[in-house]
Structures are given as structure tokens and as C-alpha cells.
Amino acid sequence: MSAGQTSWRIVGGRLLDVSESLDRHADLLIVEGHIAELLEPGKPGPAVPTLDAEGCWVLPALTDLHTTLNEPGFEHRERLSELFATAAAGGYARIVGAPTTRPTPDHAAIIDALLHRSLADGRIVFHPLGAATTAHGGQQLSEIGELIQAGAVGISDGGKPIERGDILRNALDYLCQFSVPYFFTCEDPGLAAEGVMHEGLQSTLLGLRGVPAVAEELMVHRAVTLSALTGCPVHLTQLSTRGAVALVRTARAVGVKVTSDVSPHHLWFTDRRVRGYGTEARVRPPLREEDDRQALLQGVNDGTIDAVASGHAPQSLLEKESEFEHAQPGVSSLETTLPAVLTLVEAGVLRRDRALDALCHAPARVLGLPAYRILPGEPAQLVVAEVSRPWTVDPRVFATPARASLFAGVELVGRVRYTLRQGHLIGSSGSPGPGFAVRGTNTFLTR
């Protein structure tokens, strides 16, 4: 973090802000952390340091709706400081952390502690989610009011869906007084229990137990129906099936308050990616079939799916270098989400306006957070992404020690060059992270 420097001129970039219908080649002048004005390229202006954005798009900085927190409790996977570093390196100025710490954030003191740590770090705006039930046990409601007062921006089941219908209904009912959404993990625990990948032809060929698509569809139906009953807004995290997309489309058409997100890897890959048993393909929810992938792309393009969320779920090397069915699910995703989406835009598969909205604006709308915009007077929350030249993803230079990535070795456009928050340069590419050197043959690096 370059201490104190908050005035810049971003030179030679293409400014894109879909919420303002801004699409213009112009220089951006930032003074004292705020956007001062848009200048014609080459037009003289105040003497401030320049950031070269030649061949780049300048976008509002990203907000992530789904990243797993591992401190406290699972520090061997990723510490908070490493999380903030990898987020900044990925173009994120704001992240929402799922309540996956241990102890569970079911008490205001833990929310407090998390916020303190993020403020002390200072790079990223951090919003924690509170746990719906104590220890995610699905039995006893947490003190949700206190969690929200302490700073939680939403309530979540943290990956362990509440099984009993009456308790879930009470949680949603109770939440209605607070105008925050309930973050739903769409996975029936019984149907998903034994599965390590999508249940289909590939799971049969590979001899691995599968999670059927209905495990997600059943829970989406449940979420949507209870949301309609109680009037509580729900956010469905990490959709993966065409059935879920169809259910969400129908529900929204009749006015149910449901929003949803999808991960970049579910827009890119299918269950065929598991062939070879590379554990970077062990993710939750699992990668599904081509028809599902097409439905997810269509869902982003027609607005059924509001946001693209990274689904960042870092795992330690030990937890990933193992047999497929024993590996922990999860990949490092924050540094590759923006490039993965921009590559799909460049390929013509995703509509640009929808993709940029899904990354930059929809997450804030889902939570009622202030929007980041490229407008004179607004704080400078920006990401500069290089779209003119492709680059090959190398997880060894990630700012997080978690190196399992589905995009390892993949050529993407949209590498983040600079990330600014409040005018501070919090991330710039080319600087390797604090991770350790890779020893021996990492299976997920030899692909």
C-alpha cells in the first residue's frame, strides 16, 4: 500500500460504468481520494503521478458476495491479511465474508473482532455475515439483532443449511424486521452427503459418488417458497443447475424477493473437468453438465442471476494434494474472477453490460450497500484491468498461500493492473504475494 498517495491520473484507459452508461476513452483525474474529473486524453491537468491504463478497462472496484473466511479457526488455509491481499490483487475493494470461522460468528463479539481486524488492515472494506443459528447447528436462532447492530450486513447458514422447516421459517420471519437478506446454501444435506462431484455420466466413468442436481433444486424451491410466505428477501449463493435458474426465473416473475449469484468457474467448466482427478476440480457446489453451464450463462445474460461471486474457498496444500474424494472442496478464486468473466465477455459469451453489472453493481444492490460509481465527486474505488493482452494464470504468484485454482495455466484477459480504494493503491500486479515457494510436483500445477 503506497502510504498516503491518493491523487492520480489514470491515463489511456477505457472507462466503463454500466450504471452510469459510461463508455469512454478518457483520462481519470483523482484528487485526494475522490474522482475529480474525466479529461480528454492528452489534455493537460494537475501534476499528479500517473497510472498507465493503456489497453485497459477502468471499472468501478468490485464487491464480492461470497468468500469463505478462515480466520479465526482455519488459519492454515488463509489468514485475514492474505485474504485482503488476494482480494485487492483481484480488483476487489469490498468483500462480504461468509460466517465460516470457528468460533462461528453467532455472537456480536466475533463480528466486532472481524471488523476490527479489517479496519486495522485497512485495505479492503469488509462486511461480515452473521450466522443464522448458533454454531450453525440449525436449532437455536442466534441473536440476530445484535449481530446486525454489530455490523453484519446479512445472515447466512454458512454452508450448513437449516434442515427443519419450522426453524428455517422462524429464522426468515424473524429476519424480516431487519431488512437484510438471508444467504442460502442451496444443497440438501442428505442428498449431497456422499457426493464429491456432479452425479451424471462423468461420475459413473470416474467411479466417484455424485451429488444429483435435485439436491440443489429442492433447496432452491424451499428457499423461494418460504421467502414468498414470509416476505423475507433471500439470496441464493453459488447456483449450479439449470433447474435452479428456472425456479429463480419463475419466482422473480411473480415478485418473490430472491437474488442469486454464480461463480466464474461454473460459467467456464463442466464435470468433464474432473477427468484426471485433479483436486482443483473438487468444488462445492460441483461443476455440472454443459446444459447447466449454458443455463447459468443465459441466467447472467438475462438478469435472472444478479451477481457473479468469486466463491473463494481457500484450502491448504495438504488438503488438496490428496485423492480426489478425500480432498477438501474449494479453490482460490478472488484473483481470477474478474479476468475469467472479462474473457467470457471478450469471447462474446456473456453480454458486457450484464457481466459488468454482475461484478460491479449487483452485489451492492443485493445488500443495500453504497454503489461504487465512476462519477466526479464519488470516492475513487476503481479497478484497472488489462484486456488487450492475454496472460497465463500462475497460482504460484497469488497473494494467498491457497494455490488450487481451476484457471491454473489458462490464458485469460483482464489481468488486474491496479486496484484503488478511496484513492489508495491497494493492489498492483507484478508483485508476488507472501506465499511460500512450491516444492515438488503439485498435482494441480502440472495440468
Partner 1 sequence: MLQALGSFWYLASIPRPVEPDAELAGVPRAPVPSVLCEQRSWRGDAMTFARRHLLGLEDLTESELLHILDTAASFKQISERTIKKVPTLRGRTVVNLFFEPSTRTRLSFEVAAKRLSADVLSFTTAASSTSKGETLADTARNLEAMSTDIFVVRHEASGAAQLLSRLVRSSVINAGDGAHEHPTQALLDMFTLRERFGRLRGLKVAIVGDIRHSRVARSNIFGLVRLGAQVRLAGPPTLMPPRVEALGVTVHHRIEEALEGADAVMMLRIQLERQRMGLFPSLREYTTLYGLTPKRLERAAPHAIIMHPGPVNRGVELTPELADGPRSVILEQVSNGVAVRMACLYLVTGGSEA
Closest separation between CB of residue 101 and partner 1, Å?
24
Closest separation between CB of residue 198 and partner 1, Å?
10
Across 328-378, the runs of DSSP E, i.e. the strands, are none
Q: What angle do CA 423, 428, 432 make, to 5 degrees?
A: 145
Q: Given the complex with partner 1, which of 317 and 362 has the nearer CB atom?
A: 317
With beta carbons less than 8 A apart as the criterion, state whether 144 and 178 touch. Answer: yes
Lookup: cell for 411: 490464458
d(CA 293, CA 447): 22
Closest separation between CB of residue 199 and partner 1, Å?
5
Q: Given the complex with partner 1, which of 235 and 320 has the nearer CB atom?
A: 320
Closest separation between CB of residue 64 and partner 1, Å?
30
**CA 384 vs CA 61, 91, 187, 408: distances in Å:** 9, 8, 36, 22
Q: Is 159 left (phi over 0), alpha (psi -120 to 50) or beta?
A: left
Closest separation between CB of residue 312 and partner 1, Å?
23
Residue numbers at the binding site for partner 1 (CB under 8 A): 199-201, 203-208, 210, 212, 276-277, 318, 321-327, 440-441, 443, 446
Q: Given the complex with partner 1, which of 137 and 276 has the nearer CB atom?
A: 276
Closest separation between CB of residue 70 and partner 1, Å?
20
Lookup: cell for 234: 433471500
Q: Given the complex with partner 1, which of 196 and 251 has the nearer CB atom?
A: 196
If we measure between CA atoms, which residue out of 282, 412, 303 comes closest to residue 350? 303
Q: Given the complex with partner 1, which of 214 and 371 has the nearer CB atom?
A: 214
DSSP output for 103-115: S-S-SHHHHHHHH
Lookup: cell for 443: 498435482
Q: Given the complex with partner 1, which of 149 and 436 has the nearer CB atom?
A: 436
Q: What is the identity of the amino acid at 340?
A: A
Q: How many residues does the chain have?
A: 447
